Amino acid sequence: MNEPYGISKLKQVLINDKHFNPERLNEVVSSDIFKILQNYMEINREDMLARIDIDEQGNYVLRCKVKCKRLKIMGLLS
């Protein structure tokens, strides 16, 4: 079974980065999320905040806040 694109990309980033850097991971994930959201809404980079934190149990938590000007009209499937 294939993994979703985002999960496989995240794993690859972690594997390739031998000196794990949480700030770099935040940059990469934020960039990917921004590119995806641009397909559905008009947004500026400065209107998006994405952050990966670790909670008290050691779980990773993704927080994402986006302010968009408008949603893009989606075509209907026939």
DSSP 43: -
pLDDT digits (tens, 9 = 90+) for 19-64: 567 788 888 999 999 999 999 999 999 999 999 888 888 888 899 9
**β-strand 70-71 against 41-42: which pairing, if any?**
antiparallel
Flag whether pLDDT at 1 surpasses 60: no
Helix boundaries (H) for the chain: 5-16, 22-37
pTM of the shown model: 0.64
Residue 49, pLDDT score: 94
Q: Please give the single-letter amino acid code of residue 65.
A: K
Location of structure tokens 């960039």: 31
Q: Which of 63, 24, 67, 31 is nearest to 48 (CA)?
A: 67
Greater pLDDT, 78 or 74: 74
